[in-house]
């Protein structure tokens, strides 16, 4: 007897997400029993009269709700495809058929009602000029079928005149077909190039071989094999996060690929880099480094990002989660030093400011501002681990916007020496010092560590010492290091060359190009902030993000500038109230450049309007309560919201006063780019007085 297997369709999770909370609980209770044994006599499969696919059945959740199941004629595969009120579930099932695409071999869902509505389209009676043809008119049926387009939808595809027409039928096309057609229409790609970009796989699958069809890479975009009742409950208990289950084939290949050494994945905002990194960590723990004492280290730059990743990995993983350690670099370095008996005293911002003032006053005028000196210290002295005057006079300053000759460096060095002496006198460390000491500890006093591989997220924000620390932590070998990042989102670190840190990635690099988070309109606006600016590829080269596109469409971002702060506030309140009519408040976020704006301007604004709100604090979870989110641009890194309102984007606020160097201005542009790319559906930008010159 075959063991039953259960699949969840993407459409099922979308339908479940729309149900009332009490009804979702009933569905979860039923599905636990269903997953344990879908063949049980207590599960009453009922056929549907007049359905186009006689394998479709319904099962009763309660008196009013039903789930729709693709029930096998042979074999033991069960696919949950929809759940809804009785009449709505029946209506949905009657207009759907499930077929194995004869060209690609993938299982596809076809809306028969849409097919029936297609008018017959005859080819043109007379030849037309080449520029008068629609995007797909000159492509053969055979080539269009290779993209995954079901044959019954060829007339609809040939009628498409532009990207708007393509977007209008996106809902009726399989994801792989839509994506391939998008590349052909938007980028004038050949069919073969479009198939490569879209990750379409062509295999031979028998029309009645449901098992093989469901295992197809393109089927896995919309059907997930459930491993156990426990996994099913974890999926159903979590908020709808399709990224946890449905991977694009290009992402799935990176997750499963065997690398002979360190690997790097680049990709713009919303391309799923962190998703790939998390699935990669899961795969390494489950299938590669499987000894009981083996550990996979997953690390990133900030506490908040580490907390988010830990939460999401806990939802994604099973028992292997216990062998994945998620932390941020600062905590990791402190733990290593304390394990060796060293005390760590990190310098706080207020004390650092006083020490800088003391150093400048003691040495005297140098002709350079304190802001410049701090930047030089961080970008040159600390970045290169310089401790002596001679080293500084000879150090490379590549990438620094203000040139310094030897005499100018000699005049500056006494300030740095005074500042360093003050740190040493009190055993204070800056974070680069902590990282450096941890790395040197590993070099001089090797510790027995369980790590077999490391996954590094947000690589662009790491300093050279942090990359060297990662290399020192993990034994060299296949699948040892996996880096993901995007220098367009660098808001903390300085450009570094991975090869200079002992990490050789040549020949093991990949790029993700499809933005799954934002609409194309928002992507263009966010990307334009960095237009014509050279951005590195994390290894000394230049990043060329050609083909970075979003397949989603929506309204263009709104930019409004008001005469007074009161007028801006009135507009924002009206916008938030309107958005709350269709979206949960926690899916809306007001983003500002500074903490002060959050506390003194926009929190009182929401409070006075009687709107619920929640400030995303530095170390607080993102989902601890309801209400419109309020956060700084730095805080929303790694998050996403249906609607983002960037408020108070005034000249003089962003960039802040004293921002003068090219590196500082680029960091501000990157920060605004990050904030804008958090939006999934709508982006609104407001200011009063004068709008920031960065826009």
Instruction: State the pairing for strand pair 96-100/451-456.
Output: unpaired
Q: What is the pLDDT of residue 133?
A: 59
Q: Among 115, 105, 48, 57, which residue's Cα sits nearest to residue 81? A: 57
**Does residue 242 register a pLDDT over 70?**
no
Q: Are 333 and 462 in contact (CB under 8 A)?
A: no
Q: Among 343, 237, 379, 466, which residue's Cα sits nearest to residue 666? A: 379
Q: What is the pLDDT of residue 514?
A: 87
Please tell us whether the domain made up of 247-340+445-517 is placed in CATH 3.40.50.300: yes
Q: Are 248 and 495 in contact (CB under 8 A)?
A: no
Distance CA 360, CA 370 (A): 8
Q: What is the pLDDT of residue 132?
A: 54
CA dihedral 22, 28, 33, 34 (to 10 degrees): 120
List of residues 6+ apart from 293 with CB closer than 8 A: 450
Grouping H, G, I as helix, E, B as strand and the rest as coil, residue 548 is coil
- CATH number for 557-688: choose from 3.30.70.20, 3.40.50.1970, 3.40.50.300, 3.30.70.1150: 3.40.50.300
Q: What is the pLDDT of residue 1?
A: 52
pLDDT in tens, 550-564: 888 899 999 999 999
**Does residue 129 register a pLDDT over 70?**
no
Distance CA 438, CA 435 (A): 5
pLDDT in tens, 61-75: 988 999 999 987 777
DSSP state of 656: P
Q: What is the pLDDT of residue 122?
A: 46
Distance CA 583, CA 580 (A): 5
Q: What is the pLDDT of residue 243?
A: 52
pLDDT in tens, 510-535: 999 888 889 999 999 999 999 888 88
Q: What is the pLDDT of residue 126?
A: 46
Element at 114 (helix H, strand E) = helix 112-117
| φ, ψ at 290 (rounded to 5°) | -110, 0
Diameter of the chain by CA atoms?
Answer: 90
Strand partners of residue 107: 100
Q: Are 337 and 441 in contact (CB under 8 A)?
A: yes
Q: Tell me which residue has tokens 């295992």.
A: 215
List of residues 6+ apart from 428 with CB closer than 8 A: 345, 346, 347, 351, 422
**pLDDT (average), residues 393-420:** 90
Grouping H, G, I as helix, E, B as strand and the rest as coil, residue 455 is strand
Structurally, at CATH architecture level, domain 5-99+212-237 sits in: 2-Layer Sandwich (3.30)
Distance CA 82, CA 254 (A): 30
% of the chain beyond a pLDDT of 70: 95
Q: What is the pLDDT of residue 474?
A: 95
Distance CA 258, CA 412 (A): 49
Q: What is the pLDDT of residue 545?
A: 67
Element at 264 (helix H, strand E) = strand 263-267
**pLDDT (average), residues 175-203:** 90
Q: Are 484 and 459 in contact (CB under 8 A)?
A: yes
Grouping H, G, I as helix, E, B as strand and the rest as coil, residue 432 is helix
Exposure b/e, 462-471, CB count within 10 A at least 16 = b: bbbbbbbbbb
Of residues 35 and 255, more confidently modeled:
255
Distance CA 256, CA 650 (A): 46
Sequence ranges of the domains in the chain: 5-99+212-237, 107-200, 247-340+445-517, 349-428, 557-688
**Does residue 236 register a pLDDT over 90?**
no
Q: What is the pLDDT of residue 683?
A: 98
Of residues 685 and 535, more confidently modeled:
685
Where residue 131 falls among pLDDT bands split at 50, 70, 90? low
| φ, ψ at 163 (rounded to 5°) | -65, -30
Q: What is the pLDDT of residue 134?
A: 83
Helices (H) and strands (E) in the chain, counts: 27, 22
Same fold flag, 247-340+445-517 and 557-688 = yes
Q: Are 456 and 300 in contact (CB under 8 A)?
A: yes
**pLDDT (average), residues 293-320:** 90
State pTM to two decimals.
0.85
Distance CA 65, CA 83 (A): 7
pLDDT in tens, 577-626: 999 999 999 999 999 999 999 999 999 999 999 999 999 987 666 667 78
Give the angle 165-268-638 at the CA atoms, nearest 5°.
110
CA dihedral 427, 430, 434, 436 (to 10 degrees): -110
What six digits make up the tokens of 113?
Answer: 């009602």
What six digits make up the tokens of 683?
Answer: 């982006």
Element at 679 (helix H, strand E) = strand 679-688
Element at 226 (helix H, strand E) = strand 223-226
Grouping H, G, I as helix, E, B as strand and the rest as coil, residue 626 is coil
Strand partners of residue 111: 96
Where residue 443 falls among pLDDT bands split at 50, 70, 90? confident
Element at 113 (helix H, strand E) = helix 112-117
| φ, ψ at 512 (rounded to 5°) | -100, 135
pLDDT in tens, 621-656: 666 778 999 999 999 998 899 999 999 999 999 999
Please state, rounded to an integer, the average pLDDT across all residues of the chain: 89
Q: How many CB atoms lie within 10 A of CB 166?
A: 22
Q: What is the pLDDT of residue 43?
A: 84
Q: How many CB atoms lie within 10 A of CB 164?
A: 9
Q: What is the pLDDT of residue 629?
A: 96
pLDDT in tens, 266-305: 999 989 999 999 999 999 999 999 999 999 999 998 888 8
| φ, ψ at 104 (rounded to 5°) | -90, -25
Q: What is the pLDDT of residue 124?
A: 46
Q: Are 328 and 305 in contact (CB under 8 A)?
A: yes
**Does residue 128 register a pLDDT over 50?**
no
Of residues 164 and 66, more confidently modeled:
66
What six digits make up the tokens of 615?
Answer: 């400030």
**Does residue 125 register a pLDDT over 50?**
no
């Amino acid at each position: 007897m075959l063991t039953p297997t259960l699949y969840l369709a993407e459409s099922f999770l979308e339908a479940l997400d729309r149900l009332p909370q009490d009804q979702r609980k009933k569905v979860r209770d039923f599905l636990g029993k269903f997953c344990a044994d879908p063949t049980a006599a207590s599960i009453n499969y009922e056929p549907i009269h007049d359905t186009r696919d006689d394998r479709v059945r319904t099962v009763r959740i309660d008196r009013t709700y039903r789930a729709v199941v693709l029930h096998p004629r042979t074999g033991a595969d069960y696919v949950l495809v929809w759940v809804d009120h009785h009449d709505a579930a029946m209506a949905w099932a009657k207009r759907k058929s499930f077929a194995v695409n004869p060209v690609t071999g993938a299982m596809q869902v076809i809306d028969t009602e849409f097919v029936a509505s297609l008018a017959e389209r005859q080819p043109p009676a007379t030849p037309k000029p080449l520029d008068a043809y629609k995007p797909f008119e000159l492509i053969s049926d055979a080539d269009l079928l290779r993209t995954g387009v079901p044959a019954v939808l060829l007339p609809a595809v040939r009628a498409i005149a532009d990207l708007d027409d393509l977007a209008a039928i996106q809902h009726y096309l399989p994801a792989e077909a839509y994506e391939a057609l998008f590349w052909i229409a938007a980028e004038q790609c050949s069919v073969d190039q479009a198939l490569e970009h879209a990750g379409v796989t062509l295999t031979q699958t028998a029309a009645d071989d449901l098992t093989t069809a469901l295992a197809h890479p393109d089927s896995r975009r919309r059907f997930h094999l459930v491993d156990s009742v426990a996994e099913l409950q974890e999926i159903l208990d979590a908020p709808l996060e399709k990224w946890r289950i449905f991977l694009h084939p290009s992402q799935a290949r990176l997750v499963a690929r065997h690398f002979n050494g360190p690997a790097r994945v680049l990709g713009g905002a919303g391309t799923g880099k962190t998703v790939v990194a998390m699935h990669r960590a899961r795969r390494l723990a489950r299938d590669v480094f499987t000894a009981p004492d083996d550990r996979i280290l997953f690390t990133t730059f900030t506490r908040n990002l580490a907390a988010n990743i830990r939460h999401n990995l806990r939802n994604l993983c099973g028992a292997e989660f216990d062998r994945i350690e998620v932390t941020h670099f600062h905590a990791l370095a402190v733990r290593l030093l304390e394990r060796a008996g060293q005390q760590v005293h990190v310098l706080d911002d207020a004390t650092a400011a006083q020490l800088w003032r003391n150093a400048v006053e003691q040495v005297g005028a140098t002709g350079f501002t304190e802001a410049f000196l701090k930047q030089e210290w961080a970008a040159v002295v600390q970045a290169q681990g310089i401790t002596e005057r001679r080293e500084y006079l000879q150090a490379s300053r590549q990438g620094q916007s203000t040139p310094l000759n030897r005499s100018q460096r000699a005049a500056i060095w006494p300030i740095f020496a005074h500042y360093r002496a003050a740190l040493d006198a009190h055993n204070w460390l800056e974070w680069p010092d902590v990282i450096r000491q941890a790395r040197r500890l590993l070099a001089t006093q090797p510790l027995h560590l369980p790590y077999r591989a490391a996954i590094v997220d947000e690589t662009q924000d790491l300093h050279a010492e942090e990359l060297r620390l990662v290399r020192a932590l993990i034994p060299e070998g296949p699948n040892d290091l996996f880096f993901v990042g995007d220098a367009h989102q660098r808001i903390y670190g300085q450009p570094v060359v991975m090869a200079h840190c002992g990490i050789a990635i040549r020949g093991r690099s990949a790029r993700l190009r499809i933005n799954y988070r934002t609409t194309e309109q928002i992507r263009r606006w966010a990307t334009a902030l960095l237009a014509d600016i050279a951005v590195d590829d994390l290894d000394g080269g230049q990043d060329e993000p050609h083909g970075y596109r979003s397949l989603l469409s929506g309204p263009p971002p709104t930019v409004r500038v008001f005469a007074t702060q009161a007028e801006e506030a009135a507009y924002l309140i009206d916008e938030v109230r309107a958005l709350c009519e269709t979206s949960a408040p926690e899916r809306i976020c007001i983003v500002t450049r500074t903490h002060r704006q959050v506390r003194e301007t926009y929190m009182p604004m929401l409070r006075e309007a009687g709107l619920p709100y929640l400030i995303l604090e530095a170390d607080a979870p993102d989902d601890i309560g309801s209400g419109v989110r309020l956060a700084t641009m730095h805080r929303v890194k790694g998050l996403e919201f249906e609607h983002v309102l960037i408020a108070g984007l005034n000249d003089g606020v962003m960039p802040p006063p004293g921002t003068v160097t090219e590196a500082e201005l680029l960091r501000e542009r990157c920060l605004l780019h990050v904030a804008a790319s958090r939006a999934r559906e709508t982006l609104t930008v407001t200011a009063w007085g004068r709008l920031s010159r960065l826009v």
